[in-house]
Structure 1
């Protein structure tokens, strides 16, 4: 940290502990280094960077997903900027245990607030007992308001309807979907958005054109095989995340199916993988960094003023459809 701030270790100690002398410029550089590096050694440092919450517990699903990795990175950057320590706990993919037990353990170990991702956001947010945890909780990337915790999200249903309608406008009429796991509210909302678009334009909702994955690349491979094996192949496939859409591209290339001439393919999230495949994916962009920042701000306010947060907030941020060569 001293090297990052361009000062001596003794100067860093003096600024953090408010001992000795330091010029305003030096003090500002040390405070910036603390935020940049996420180094929060004690309560004095937390006061320096103005954080009202010292430690946030983050619970997420241990699934191989570019979106999960990008979200973890965004939360870590926001926490570092705000001088907040993160206590991170992954829960095995598909685990059915009580997420409240995990939350209570994190609180015992110092978490003053909780930040959750699907499906554990829904699992905890729908439990009346979550109010008894004694700390504020927020969720990012869920698809609906939850009764007992704050939520920061996009309108997943409207986003999937928008991207499906774009395919319809391009003349696609046999549009298939790869849904995510049903325990994820965002997956269910995206599936409904796809159906909304078909119904609005007089196209049938054909169950044969629906496959289910679990947001992983591997599950996308199986779903793509299922859909491309149909006797009447779809002329478009909308995937409920980028990982599964990338898998569809893989299978299409293997079979000699041309994208987008023979079939259009779309993803969701606009993660790094969307621009690392060929052709690059048309997708929906979620503002991950903004969602993380909004959630952290809400948690900080809730810790600072617990009496002023009677009801959890539901913050809906704008999404964007990003059109690329896969359509």
Structure 2
């Protein structure tokens, strides 16, 4: 009995899993922590060894090996729009799966001083890496150059690349161009655009794509059909009214995110207009809102939660290799144009009014 008891008490080690799978312990760690790509056959061999040996990663030992639990700081805006909840969901999944701790600060997105103070607070609290969504990384781009804040910084969905910052994003300019080309292909020639405020890097990237599509089609952007708005439903309502409550309103409106696109649909209904019969509407992100509104929203699919998850995984990887400070990288992930019910060819009514 004693012999059986001793055998049962012997914990399976990562080295045992490595020997069983015929790989190195580092490869086992990479597979379990999902920090570096490995061949699919190797990954399957490691997972099979884990199952056969009933191996459970020892998070306590992992913490001791790195002297303490890996802590990742995340900055979020107080504004309750879809992007924020998606970023939070992706970051929570990554830290949960990889055994890291997530420290969160929330600030008003337009308060640059508060943003800087929140980041400083996170660094002083002992985080090993920071995840700064694009707005905040853009605010602090000067501080992030060179040695920066002293910890690795990763930005999910910044809209543009940022010097000194690891970025995980789609190509916003290309995505905006393709959505605008989709509307042009439907026959729209007077297309309104709701542009993000200048504090967002997408203020430039998404408008650049909108303008590029017009140039390719031999069209000019009508500046009077471009409205600037905070990326929220409430602010989007006023921008939508400016574009729709005019005798020469556009036949289509492309908004810089789904929240403002939802505001366009709501304002159109308030003004007695039908979507898409009187005006087509397109958004950006493919947030949960896009399929919870009626009609269903045509939009650019940006996998925000997946991007945030990958950015957080990268932050954890950088935090756990403090001796290595690789140059800032940019990972471009795919986007997709999602055509739903809010876009259609302009009707004769829309063209003549």
Q: What residue in structure 2 maps to residue 157 of structure 1? A: 173
1:142 to 2:176 alignment: no
2:61 counterpart (44, 56, 61): 44
Instruction: Tell me the distance in 1 between the aligned counterparts of 2:173 and 2:204.
Output: 8
Give the C-alpha shift of residue 30 in structure 1: 6.4
Tell me the equivalent position of 1:186.
202
Q: 1:288 to 1:53 in 2, by over 3 A?
A: farther
Distance in 1, matches of 2:54 and 2:258, equals 41
Mapped pair 1:226 → 2:250:
no
Structure 2 residue matching 1:97: 3-state secondary structure: helix
SS in structure 1 opposite 2:147? helix
Partner of 2:92: 76
Q: 1:167 to 1:25 in 2, by over 3 A?
A: closer
Q: Write out per-residue CA displacement over residues 264-309 of structure 1, whole angstroms, 9 at most, x where no aligned residue.
A: 1000000000001111001011122331232233223322334443
- Measured after TM superposition, the shift of residue 29 of structure 1 is 8.4
Name the CA shift for 1:201/1:51 in 2 (closer, same or farther; >3 Å). farther
Q: Map Cα deviations across residues 104-157 of structure 1 (whole Å, 9 max, x no partner).
A: 321221211000013111122332567242211110010122112111111001
Q: CA-atom RMSD, angstroms? A: 2.7
How many angstroms does 1:199 deviate by?
1.6
Q: Distance in 1 between matches of 2:75 and 2:67?
A: 21
Distance in 1 between residues matched to 2:318 and 2:247, nearest whole Å: 56
Where does structure 1 differ by over 4 angstroms across 4 or more consecutive aligned residues?
Answer: 19-31, 45-48, 50-53
* Normalised TM-score (structure 1): 0.83
Give the aligned partner of residue 256 of structure 2: 240
Mapped pair 1:105 → 2:121: yes
TM-score, normalised to structure 2's length? Answer: 0.78
Deviations 1:24-66 (A, max 9, x none): 87995865xx9xxxxx7xx436479x99971100012221211
Q: Post-superposition shift, 1:255? A: 1.9
Task: Show structure 2 runs of 5+ residues with no match.
Answer: 1-7, 13-49, 344-353
Count residues with an aligned counterpart.
299
**Residues 223-248 of structure 1 deviation map (CA, whole Å, 9 limit, x = unaligned):** 11100112201100000000000111
Distance 1:290 1:53 in 2: 24
Tell whether the 8 Å contact from 2:86 to 2:305 is kept in structure 1 after alignment: no
Higher Rg of the two aligned structures: 2
